[in-house]
Amino acid sequence: MSYLAAHPWSVIALLLQHLLIVASGLALSVAIAVPLGILVNTLRVLELPIMLVTGLMYLVPSLALFAFLIPFTGLGTKTAIVAQVVYSLLVIVRNTFAGLSAVPNAIREAATGNGLTAAQRLWLVELPMALPVIVGGVRVAAVMGVGIASIAAYVGAGGLGTLVFRGIATVDSDLILAGTLPIVALALSIDATLRFAESRLSA
């Protein structure tokens, strides 16, 4: 723990960098995956191909995914963010679709009967009702993102993984702990925060 005590600010700087990578990856994932989930819900024929492709991407181990991405995105933060999006697609698309398709038909018909257009119904009725399930997907994606960003330090993305890899390379347990403990804390607190949001939304 002495590295953490001696250099608190450099660990905090890496933590913030880590958080920034996770947040950008997550924002991009939501921006792509939620519309995709809505698309799957309206055009059900797309369910099989989209789930198959995102499911296949989800299966690829992260280090292998980095290997596939590096020739295109190079070394650095870009690879970390793209990898995060690739993994997050499955969970967020699946949860968006599941949340939307769980809206009872009676409610959908009542909305239509009240004169709402399809877009208004989606925005005012269906999405709010599906929100807890969507947030559940975002939570899984965010926790996964913390892990992916850690590994991405190896390909030059920065963040807390830097300490872990430097520690492994120099067999310095102190440095490894200074990286892993904040990573674990970050993952657990993001998980707890979004779980709380989930329960508040579904109440």
Partner 1 sequence: MAALDFILSNQQLVARLLLQHIVLTSCALAIAGTIGIAAGIAGARIPRFGSLALAITNVGQSIPSIALIGLVVPLIGIGFWPALMALAVRGVLPIYMNTYLGLAGVPAATREAAVGNGLSNGEILIWVEIPISAPIIMAGIRTAAVEGVAIATLAAFIGGGGLGDLILQGIAMMDPARLMGGALPVAALAIFAELTFGGLELILRRAFSV
Residues of the shown chain interacting with partner 1 in the complex, contacts defined by CB under 8 A? 56, 59-68, 70-71, 75, 143, 146-147, 150-151, 154-155, 161, 164-165, 167-168, 171, 173, 176-177, 179-180, 183-184, 187-188, 191
Contact 93, 33 (CB under 8 A): yes
Distance in Å, CB of 133 to partner 1, minimum: 18
Distance in Å, CB of 20 to partner 1, minimum: 17
The residue (of 34 and 160) whose beta carbon lies closer to partner 1 is 160
Distance in Å, CB of 123 to partner 1, minimum: 32
The residue (of 91 and 183) whose beta carbon lies closer to partner 1 is 183
The residue (of 10 and 180) whose beta carbon lies closer to partner 1 is 180
User: What is the C-alpha separation between 203 and 190, in angstroms, rounded?
Assistant: 20
Distance in Å, CB of 36 to partner 1, minimum: 22
